[in-house]
Chain A
Amino acid sequence: MVSLTEFNQNMIQNILHVYVSWTRYVLFLVMAFYTYLNFRYFSVDESRQKRICARQIWLMLFLHLISYSVLYLNTLDPAVAVFYCLQVVFFLCFILVYRAFYPRASRLLVNNMCMLLCVGFIMLTRLSYERAVRQFIIAALSAVVAWIIPAVVRRAGFLSKIPWAYAAVGIFLLAAVCVVGNTSFGAQLSISIGGFSIQPSEFVKILYVLFAAGMLSRSVKLKNVAVTTAAAAVHVLILVLSRDLGSALLFFLTYLFMLYAATSDLRWMGAGLLGGSLAAAAAYQFFSHVQSRVLAWRDPWSDIDNKGYQITQSLFAIGTGSWFGLGLYEGMPRRIPVVEKDFIFAAISEEMGALFALCVLLICLGCFLQFVLLAGRLENMFCKLTAFGLGTMYIVQVFLTVGGVIKFIPSTGVTLPLVSYGGSSLLSTFILFGVIQGLYSMI
């Protein structure tokens, strides 16, 4: 009798294994179709755009269902099933409430937000159920904020009038982190308030874009640009002093893009790039952690035990997963340090496949193109620069994190928005998308 039960259990294990290995292809196909629709959207008329968005929602829900069936069968934990149902309710509420309150908002962006969150939830549940639940709760709270923000943006003409207030608050927050922040991985990133660890730089990002947009929309005369640049440089400098190089680079590039958009002057761009290169060279000279990051990028194999460990484990994960992935629970993503934050892209690639992960990347790029398209249509210069600046902030962050994970560029320690684990990052991305959705009503 015992052996018979054992046999049945083994059989179930075997069937599950085969099921997982086949779902990889299904998941990729669904994801690829979703991504295709994301770009197809731009070339059809409005009524068909709505159909496309509706189809995307079904695809997302299907992908969500398949993935959670695998997660459930692997854990056989009823909590996972409940968690799944809560997520479905959340996605539907988020989509429907947005549609009801903001009919002019971009449905494509709402879908993409849900899809990226969905991929994040799947991967986080696989990596750590507790963290996935935390992430879900923060996402639900953030969604409330994201519902309110478009209304605020729509009604507030004063937003463009107080750039110095943004800069003051932003610099104060960054300086506070620099002085009293907690150190993690050699960088001061967060402040603890009442047991919660908050990363102010995530929120300063948005203030910073609003500041630059407010200043540059006023005038692009030399004096104004010089003053704005100086204030932006203070932000970057404080981030460098906090050793938060990823954010420093992010802030720097965003400002450079906004400056060029506002002035259309290549000389500013050239001066900015020159200054940036000099600063990077100086940072390389003076900060040992910059050197070790660059060395770990150039030749991680020579120090595979230590500095090259994270990136080589990431490459093992991506390479072993190959195009279609090993299947959920079939890989070893936990071997990559901070996998649920900076290196979540490697975990996705390992278990769901590089093709799936590249689809995620294309969805992010699609979001950016939406932002730019919106910016192009906005008349008001402040709004235009805000939309473009936030878009840049978003896509540069995607570039830095994915580029670091696949060893295209040195790893800078930033997260993949909406997918990576992290409350501050999640909330600030919700705010970012909320502002963009608010701007849609200004067209």
Chain B
Amino acid sequence: MRKLWEKLKKEDHFSQPSGGRRHPNESMLRLTYVVVAVFVGMILYEGWFLAVRREDTINNSYNARLDSFAERVVRGRIVSGDGTVLAETVVGEDGSEIRRYPFGPLFSHVVGYSSMGRTGLEDLAHFYLLSSHVNLIEHTLRELMGEKNMGDTVVTTLDPVLQQTAYDALGDRRGAVVVLEPDTGRVLVMVSKPGFDPNTVAGEWDSLVSADNTSGQLLNRAAQGLYPPGSTFKTVMLLEYIREHPEDYGDFRFDCDGCYEDGEYAIRCYHGNAHGTQTLEEAFANSCNGAFAYLGKQLDAGKLAATAKELLFNSDIPISLPYSRSAYMMGEDADLWERLQTSIGQGRTQISPLHNALLAAAIANGGTLMKPYFIDHIENAGGDRIRGFLPSAYGSLMTAEEAAVLTGMMEKVVAGGTASAVKSDLYTAAAKTGSAEFEAGRETHAWMIGFAPAENPRLAVSVIVEEGGSGGSAAAPIARKIFDAYFSR
């Protein structure tokens, strides 16, 4: 290529000025450089697309090409980190293939199914499961014999023991549990109830999607369910208050008589309990609604909305499974009632259990949110590692100082507040409970978000029990079982 340019330049006319004007050849050469540069750019772009963007792009339900891979490849296995099989294809003697899920409904949403369309990891890892990296000779021989090659194995980050613990702890109640590692983003548990059995989902399809079905078994509540955050939203209010009063938030005082009245409106504490004089820390630990309604009124609505936005409300969250965006709706011109309601996590604010888990994880990880992920690495059918996935940071949701203050406050919630159920000698947990009203006359949804150990967090959890009552009595014990199972290892 370079020689070509030398040749062009060597041509006689290049140095000859004609009438003080640059010779056309020189201008042509410049334009040629531009063209070559643009083509090099285009080729680099194509290389980048194939090297970086390719897999995410083609793993799409609109790409029919992948389905044709199934004619030559037996869909690979989905396993947990310890090798437990979560999904595998059993090939009968007549060549028929059945996708088997040994744990039945335990992983129904996160592993998903591939019979009636695809969901969960079956969809996320579709491309890998239908790619075969068995060695070339075996590959060719099998193709000559007309046999299918075995697809790659997807090794997930999921922890079957913790998943089972969370699943059992939820019992027959509706709800969801998400557990992840705050410092890596590895998702260990994702439970949504009620579930379904992916082994038989095709047969039960009609009843699952029937209009009379109000259970919503197919919905992955962990990522797609939206609930009022209730008092777990007080973490957001607390963060905003600290931001607006960095020096004197310790001076906050509020007298709680069980019912905070403002004009024609009244905000009650849970069961009308009177908390007495509360500092900020105590109000948070006791989840005093009056104190937070009073506190919320003093905040700048615009800044609060900005903080909510930073914390990924009304935003996309970095996850590859289908999810619902959390909503924060209060504008700067909101009336008093909406301001009071929003301050205690009611009103029009809505959040998914997964998003709440990410908030807990970000606080646990010094303010930095790690992108949650489910696939640890890919192996070929023989167990050789093909490629791995590394943790990656999404960004900073708050400063390390802010995260440290929130952590301290959340520890107090466990030590002497509403989340005493997760108080243990094995570990120091930090948490926030919530009891979210969603319909007058019905029991509240029970929430808990938290992490442990507080000083060096390894687990972050988010639990919701629909109509479970108070967070402290219904959600916190579930988190407790998960923490116990993990830290007693």
Residues of A within 8 A of B (CB): 10-11, 13-15, 17-18, 21, 39, 42-43, 257, 260-264, 304, 312-313, 315-320, 322-323, 326, 331-332, 335, 354, 358, 361, 365, 368-369, 372-373, 375-377, 381, 384-385, 388, 392, 395, 399, 402-403, 406-408
Question: Contact between A358 and B46 (Cβ–Cβ < 8 Å)?
Answer: yes
Residues of B within 8 A of A (CB): 1, 3-4, 7-8, 11, 13, 21-32, 35-36, 38-39, 41-43, 45-46, 49-50, 53-55, 57-58, 60, 62-66, 68, 140, 143-146
Question: Contact between B4 and A43 (Cβ–Cβ < 8 Å)?
Answer: yes
A260 touching B60 in the complex, CB below 8 Å, given contacts A332-B65, A368-B35: no
Question: Contact between B11 and A17 (Cβ–Cβ < 8 Å)?
Answer: no
Task: Please name the residue on chain A nearest to B57 by beta carbon.
Answer: A319
Question: Contact between B7 and A320 (Cβ–Cβ < 8 Å)?
Answer: no
Question: Contact between A14 and B8 (Cβ–Cβ < 8 Å)?
Answer: no
The one of A332, A369, A402, A406 that contacts B49, using a Cβ cutoff of 8 Å: A406
17 extra interchain contacts, Cβ-Cβ under 8 A, other than A313-B62, A319-B50, A376-B8? A10-B146, A18-B143, A43-B3, A260-B31, A261-B27, A315-B58, A316-B58, A317-B65, A319-B49, A322-B50, A358-B46, A372-B8, A373-B8, A376-B29, A385-B24, A406-B45, A408-B46
The one of A14, A316, A385 that contacts B60, using a Cβ cutoff of 8 Å: A316
- Can you list 14 pairs linking A and B with CB atoms under 8 Å apart? A11-B144, A11-B146, A14-B145, A14-B146, A21-B143, A42-B3, A260-B30, A264-B21, A315-B57, A361-B39, A365-B36, A369-B32, A372-B32, A377-B11
Question: Contact between B25 and A322 (Cβ–Cβ < 8 Å)?
Answer: no
Task: Please name the residue on chain B nearest to A304 by beta carbon.
Answer: B62
Expressed in whole angstroms, the minimum distance between the Cβ of A401 and any Cβ of chain B is: 11
Question: Contact between B27 and A365 (Cβ–Cβ < 8 Å)?
Answer: no
Task: Please name the residue on chain B nearest to A399 by beta carbon.
Answer: B38
The one of A264, A316, A372 that contacts B57, using a Cβ cutoff of 8 Å: A316
A261 touching B8 in the complex, CB below 8 Å, given contacts A13-B146, A316-B58, A354-B50: no
CA distance A11 to B41 in the complex (A): 45
A406 touching B28 in the complex, CB below 8 Å, given contacts A264-B22, A312-B62: no
Which residues of chain A come closer than 8 Å to B23, judged between CB atoms?
264
Expressed in whole angstroms, the minimum distance between the Cβ of B2 and any Cβ of chain A is: 9
Expressed in whole angstroms, the minimum distance between the Cβ of A377 and any Cβ of chain B is: 6
Which residues of chain B come closer than 8 Å to A263, judged between CB atoms?
21, 27
CA distance A319 to B21 in the complex (A): 49
Question: Contact between B143 and A14 (Cβ–Cβ < 8 Å)?
Answer: yes
The one of B11, B39, B42, B64 that contacts A332, using a Cβ cutoff of 8 Å: B64
Task: Please name the residue on chain A nearest to B9 by beta carbon.
Answer: A376
Expressed in whole angstroms, the minimum distance between the Cβ of B32 and any Cβ of chain A is: 5
Question: Contact between A361 and B43 (Cβ–Cβ < 8 Å)?
Answer: yes
Which residues of chain A come closer than 8 Å to B65, judged between CB atoms?
316-317, 320, 326, 331-332, 335
Which residues of chain B come closer than 8 Å to A313, judged between CB atoms?
62
Expressed in whole angstroms, the minimum distance between the Cβ of B220 and any Cβ of chain A is: 21
A-B pairs with the 10 shortest C-beta distances?
Answer: A264-B22, A43-B3, A319-B58, A316-B63, A42-B4, A320-B65, A264-B27, A319-B54, A14-B146, A319-B57
Task: Please name the residue on chain B nearest to A220 by beta carbon.
Answer: B21
Which residues of chain B come closer than 8 Å to A354, judged between CB atoms?
46, 50
Which residues of chain A come closer than 8 Å to B28, judged between CB atoms?
261, 372, 375-376, 388
A358 touching B7 in the complex, CB below 8 Å, given contacts A261-B24, A322-B50: no
Task: Please name the residue on chain A nearest to B147 by beta carbon.
Answer: A14
CA distance A407 to B54 in the complex (A): 13
Task: Please name the residue on chain B nearest to A320 by beta carbon.
Answer: B65
Expressed in whole angstroms, the minimum distance between the Cβ of B111 and any Cβ of chain A is: 25
CA distance A263 to B28 in the complex (A): 11
The one of B1, B31, B41, B68 that contacts A39, using a Cβ cutoff of 8 Å: B1
Which residues of chain B come closer than 8 Å to A392, judged between CB atoms?
31, 35
Question: Contact between B27 and A369 (Cβ–Cβ < 8 Å)?
Answer: no
Task: Please name the residue on chain B nearest to A387 by beta carbon.
Answer: B28
CA distance A369 to B46 in the complex (A): 22
Question: Contact between B42 and A399 (Cβ–Cβ < 8 Å)?
Answer: yes
CA distance A261 to B21 in the complex (A): 11
Which residues of chain B come closer than 8 Å to A262, judged between CB atoms?
24
Expressed in whole angstroms, the minimum distance between the Cβ of B4 and any Cβ of chain A is: 4
Expressed in whole angstroms, the minimum distance between the Cβ of A347 and any Cβ of chain B is: 12
Which residues of chain B come closer than 8 Å to A375, judged between CB atoms?
25, 28
Expressed in whole angstroms, the minimum distance between the Cβ of B145 and any Cβ of chain A is: 7
CA distance A387 to B64 in the complex (A): 45
Which residues of chain A come closer than 8 Å to B38, judged between CB atoms?
399
Question: Contact between B13 and A402 (Cβ–Cβ < 8 Å)?
Answer: no
Question: Contact between A376 and B39 (Cβ–Cβ < 8 Å)?
Answer: no
A257 touching B31 in the complex, CB below 8 Å, given contacts A43-B3, A264-B26, A376-B8: yes
CA distance A312 to B62 in the complex (A): 9
Which residues of chain A come closer than 8 Å to B32, judged between CB atoms?
368-369, 372
Expressed in whole angstroms, the minimum distance between the Cβ of B278 and any Cβ of chain A is: 48
CA distance A399 to B24 in the complex (A): 23
Task: Please name the residue on chain B nearest to A365 by beta carbon.
Answer: B39
Task: Please name the residue on chain A nearest to B35 by beta carbon.
Answer: A395
CA distance A42 to B28 in the complex (A): 18
Which residues of chain B come closer than 8 Å to A319, judged between CB atoms?
49-50, 53-55, 57-58
Question: Contact between A403 and B42 (Cβ–Cβ < 8 Å)?
Answer: yes
The one of A14, A312, A381 that contacts B144, using a Cβ cutoff of 8 Å: A14
A369 touching B4 in the complex, CB below 8 Å, given contacts A18-B140, A332-B65: yes
A376 touching B50 in the complex, CB below 8 Å, given contacts A257-B31, A312-B62, A358-B43: no
CA distance A368 to B26 in the complex (A): 16
CA distance A13 to B72 in the complex (A): 12
Expressed in whole angstroms, the minimum distance between the Cβ of B449 and any Cβ of chain A is: 32
CA distance A138 to B303 in the complex (A): 68
Which residues of chain A come closer than 8 Å to B31, judged between CB atoms?
257, 260-261, 392
Most interface-central of A263, A320, A365 (chain B CB within 10 A): A320
Expressed in whole angstroms, the minimum distance between the Cβ of A362 and any Cβ of chain B is: 8
Task: Please name the residue on chain A nearest to B31 by beta carbon.
Answer: A257
Which residues of chain A come closer than 8 Å to B146, judged between CB atoms?
10-11, 13-14
Expressed in whole angstroms, the minimum distance between the Cβ of B273 and any Cβ of chain A is: 49
Task: Please name the residue on chain A nearest to B40 by beta carbon.
Answer: A365
A318 touching B49 in the complex, CB below 8 Å, given contacts A14-B146, A18-B143, A372-B32: yes
CA distance A320 to B69 in the complex (A): 10
CA distance A384 to B24 in the complex (A): 9
Question: Contact between B11 and A376 (Cβ–Cβ < 8 Å)?
Answer: yes
Question: Contact between A320 and B8 (Cβ–Cβ < 8 Å)?
Answer: no
CA distance A321 to B35 in the complex (A): 27
Task: Please name the residue on chain A nearest to B60 by beta carbon.
Answer: A316
CA distance A294 to B45 in the complex (A): 18
Which residues of chain A come closer than 8 Å to B58, judged between CB atoms?
315-316, 319-320
Which residues of chain A come closer than 8 Å to B36, judged between CB atoms?
365
Most interface-central of B13, B23, B24 (chain A CB within 10 A): B24
A402 touching B42 in the complex, CB below 8 Å, given contacts A262-B24, A319-B54, A320-B65: yes
Which residues of chain A come closer than 8 Å to B3, judged between CB atoms?
42-43
CA distance A354 to B23 in the complex (A): 39
Most interface-central of A14, A17, A319 (chain B CB within 10 A): A319
Which residues of chain A come closer than 8 Å to B30, judged between CB atoms?
260
Question: Contact between B42 and A406 (Cβ–Cβ < 8 Å)?
Answer: yes
